[in-house]
Chain A
Amino acid sequence: MATVTATANASHDLSRAPSVITLKGVNKWYGQFHVLSDINLDVKQGERIVICGPSGSGKSTLIRCINRLEEHQRGDISVHGVTLSNDVKNIEAIRRDVGMVFQSFNLFPHLTILDNLTLAPIWVKKTPKKEAEEIAMSLLKRVRIPEQANKYPGQLSGGQQQRVAIARALCMRPKIMLFDEPTSALDPEMVKEVLDVMIELAKEGMTMLCVTHEMGFARAVADRVIFMDRGEIVEQNAPEEFFAHPKNERTKTFLGQILHH
């Protein structure tokens, strides 16, 4: 499948932006199950991509391959020109640049919110403690929960925890953010507060890859929507085109299922 660069939209011209993530012929199997088959993807700097698809289609696996939480077996993945291999140095270099937000938050329950945020800057980036705490507090203000800094994750609501998780990822000053179904584990009334933070982030020009079924979010911020099924990229297009005129039958069925239920 040919790589399609995002169609430029008026507010957000990516035609001259450099590529930051390149996947070439990526394949992965879980045992006999072919979870990613021949994925080609090129992500520009500042591009916002939404990946959707039925469960088991490989969309989570795809973004988890980018920071090597999953190992791909064939093909090349490179981030900022660094090609992923078994070399731990390369993996750590990529992980420093790539922030990730998980479906189940994965905050560290034994640390306070502030310690959750400062841990990686202090230990991985060797930022002085005081400076790390200042950065952490400014990020907590940005996600609108500075007053929770000294609480433990268990004392926060799901929406607050997910916002902390976003702030924690941002603490490392990543150039790329991966979101793995960030709102799927939330109660409905909390989805908006998390999406608002993500929309703000998108407006600031962060490169984002987001696995989600929030089609409103896709319409609002995505430069490109990718539909995956059975381990393949079936269709990708700018959101207006993607939702108005889906080309593939499988895309039509999927959109029919999630938009009119």
Chain B
Amino acid sequence: MTDVPAGERQQLPPPATDSGALGWLRRNLFSSWGNAITTVVLLFLLLWLVTSFLNWAVVNAVWTAPNGQACRGHGACWALIHEKYRFIFFGTFPYEQQWRPLLAVIIMIVMLVTSADRRMWNQRLLWIWGTGSFLTFLLMFGQIHIPLGLILFVALAVGGLGMLLRSTVAKPTEIAGWRTLAAIGAIGIVLRLTGVLPPWSLALAPFSYVETSLWGGLPVTLILATYGLVFAFPYGILLALGRRSNLPLIKGLCVGFIELIRGVPLISLLIMASVMLPLFLPTGMSIDKFLRALVAVIFFAGAYIAEIIRGGLQSLPKGQFEAADAMGLNYFQKTTLIILPQALRVVIPPLINTFIGFFKDTSLVLIIGIFDFLNAANQALVDPNWAGFPSEVYLFAAFVYFCFCFSMSRYSKYLEVELNKGTRR
């Protein structure tokens, strides 16, 4: 052995056979005769699979054709997608008006992408979502009538939230502003309910009206998934906090709701929303089918999200709660400043997993006759002129779904790294 004193030994490089590309190949693919043969066989198999797929999908594919007959005997019939893409994307939305859902989809994607950036996580987010959502629904409906009551309610809610959230940091003048807004809302609602104010509504009607039963394709999937999850998320947080509450009534209600909703399939919830709910409503009163589906999705996703967040809450050491208590923070401050920021970080992977799942699960609205993206694609197959090319349509649908889901998955990764910056050693 060497007699160099400890601490003065030279650092030696690792053996050459263990490093570099050749070393990696030898270690992982050709470490023995058996492994070498397996590697070669699998490589050939892979090559054969890829070439035959490319032959079908690219080399022998038919890109344009007058009808399905012209496609027979060749590779993939992309002409079908070319012919039907507008139906697949926008369903039965009036053909000449389809620029509207296209624009709505673009707005929603821009809205989602901008709010994904962590630097946007402040009041700007409210503006982005406020304008984005307003434009999306204006484009989809074409005309929006906002009743006075709703405007007043929004004023009350915004004013109240402003008072609550800004109470500790805002100047007195700002607080006075929030108070005035809330007061106008509250007084207005009372006056409206007592009939002093007329049932007036604000009409915005730049385009022709398109009812929700004509909506279809990608905008439906995006609206159901986005707004379903946007509302389900805070709802799930409240359920999760409620489930850990010390008050037996609140705890019981939350546990009961979560178990009830989790205990039934989404399909049955959708059927309940579409068939049974109208039976309980007074005659003459009806809630839009689309809205009912959305509420069902919110309830369902909320229950699942609540359980995920509960896992995050339970993973926090007790000391975090105690330290916050000992400093004199009240429950609201403790929860929003200390507990939730940490709990949500922990549950990003399962949370995004659920989001991806629900993005795809929205297809179940087919059951109650709403045509989302997958169901619109399915309908495109019904045309007798183009019968017999299901693989092309499904492959196309799968590709579009994959784009969305894979982006979400990558975003989850980014978020994990971004939010844990500095907190790891």
- Which residues of A does B touch, CB under 8 Å? 67-69, 88, 92, 95-96, 98-100, 102, 104-110, 112, 119-120, 122-124, 126, 151-155, 168-169, 172
Chain B 197-220 per-residue mask, 1 if CB under 8 angstroms from chain A, else 0:
000000000000000000000000
Given A95-B328, A110-B341, A123-B337, the answer on whether A102 and B323 have CB atoms closer than 8 Å is yes
Chain A residues, CB < 8 A from B419: 110
The stretch of B6-14, B176-184, B314-322, B361-369 in contact with A is B314-322
CB closest chain-B residue, reference A123: B333
Contact across chains for A152 and B423 when beta carbons are under 8 A apart: yes
> B109: CB under 8 A from chain A?
no
Return the chain A residue nearest B328 by Cβ.
Answer: A95
Q: Measured between alpha carbons, how far is A126 from B170 in the docked complex, in Å?
A: 10
The distance in angstroms between the C-alpha atoms of A252 and B387, with both chains bound, is 95
Contacts of B18 in A (CB 8 A): none
Partner of A106, one of B168, B319, B422: B319
Are B328 and A108 touching (Cβ within 8 A)? no
- A154-B424, A155-B422 as given contacts; A124 in contact with B327, CB under 8 Å: yes
Q: Could you tell me if B337 and A119 are in contact, using CB atoms closer than 8 angstroms? A: yes
Give bound CA distance, A71 to B247, whole Å: 17
Nearest 5 Cβ contacts at the A-B interface: A106-B323, A106-B319, A95-B328, A120-B327, A100-B326
Instruction: Please determine whether B317 and A104 come into contact, CB atoms closer than 8 angstroms.
Output: yes
A-B contact pairs, 18 of them (CB 8 A): A67-B325, A68-B325, A69-B326, A92-B330, A95-B325, A106-B320, A108-B338, A108-B342, A109-B342, A119-B327, A119-B329, A119-B337, A124-B333, A154-B422, A154-B423, A154-B425, A155-B422, A169-B326
CB distance from A79 to the nearest CB of B (A): 13
- What CA separation (Å) do A37 and B337 show in the bound complex? 37
Contact residues in B for A69 (Cβ distance below 8 Å) = 322, 325-326
A90 CB to nearest B CB, Å = 12
Q: Are A172 and B322 within 8 A (Cβ)?
A: no
Answer yes or no: B244 CB below 8 A from chain A CBs: no
Residues from 387 to 425 in B contacting A, C-beta threshold 8 Å: 419, 422-425
Measured between alpha carbons, how far is A104 from B322 in the docked complex, in Å? 11
In the complex, whether B345 has a CB less than 8 A from a CB of chain A is yes
Tell me, rounded to whole Å, the shortest Cβ–Cβ distance linking A73 to chain B. Answer: 17
Q: What's the least CB distance linking A72 to chain B, in Å?
A: 16
Q: Is the pair B326, A108 in contact by a Cβ cutoff of 8 Å?
A: no
New contact pairs (13) apart from A69-B326, A100-B323, A124-B328, CB-CB < 8 Å: A69-B322, A88-B330, A92-B330, A100-B326, A105-B319, A106-B320, A107-B323, A119-B337, A124-B327, A124-B333, A168-B327, A169-B327, A172-B328
How many angstroms between the C-alpha atoms of A95 and B329 in the bound complex? 9
Asked if A92 contacts B423 (CB within 8 A), the reply is no
Are B328 and A96 in touch, CB under 8 angstroms? Answer: yes
In the complex, what residue of chain B is closest to A125 when comparing beta carbons?
B328
B328 and A120 contact, CB distance less than 8 A: yes
Is chain B's interface secondary structure helix, strand, loop, or mixed overall? helix
The 8 Å CB contact of B326, one of A67, A112, A122, A123, is A67
- In the complex, which range does the number of interface residues on chain B fall in? 20 to 34
Whole-angstrom CA separation of A109 from B322 in the bound complex: 14
B341/A126 in contact, CB under 8 A: no
A69 to B333, CA, bound (A): 17
Residues from chain A with Cβ under 8 Å of B330 in the complex:
88, 92
Contacts of A106 in B (CB 8 A): 317, 319-320, 322-323
Whole-angstrom CA separation of A69 from B321 in the bound complex: 10
B322 touching A102 by the CB < 8 A rule? Answer: yes
Q: Complex Cα distance A122/B328, Å?
A: 12
Establish whether residues B323 and A109, one from each chain, have CB atoms under 8 Å apart when the complex forms.
no
Nearest residue, chain B, Cβ from A64? B322
The one of A96, A110, A122 that contacts B168, using a Cβ cutoff of 8 Å: A122
The docked-state distance in angstroms from the alpha carbon of A88 to that of B329 is: 11
Q: Please report the C-alpha to C-alpha distance between residue A72 and residue B325 in the assembled complex, in whole angstroms.
A: 17
Which residues of A lie under 8 Å from residue B342 when comparing CB positions? 108-110
How far does the alpha carbon of A152 sit from the alpha carbon of B345 in the complex, in Å?
16
Given contacts A109-B423, A110-B345, A123-B337, contact A95 B327 (CB under 8 A): yes
- Could you say which residues of chain B place their CB within 8 Å of the CB of A109? 342, 423
Chain A residues with Cβ under 8 A from B323's Cβ?
Answer: 100, 102, 106-108
How far, in angstroms, from A67 to B329 measured CA to CA in the complex?
Answer: 13
Cα of A128 to Cα of B425 in the assembled complex, Å: 31
Q: In the complex, what distance in Å separates the CA atom of A100 from the CA atom of B327?
A: 8
Most buried by A among B322, B333, B419: B322
Contact B329 A120 (CB under 8 A): yes
Q: Does A95 lie within 8 Å of B326, measured CB to CB? A: yes
- B329 x A124 contact (CB < 8 A): yes
Among A100, A108, A112, A154, which residue has the most Cβ atoms of chain B within 10 A? A108
A231 to B248, CA, bound (A): 31
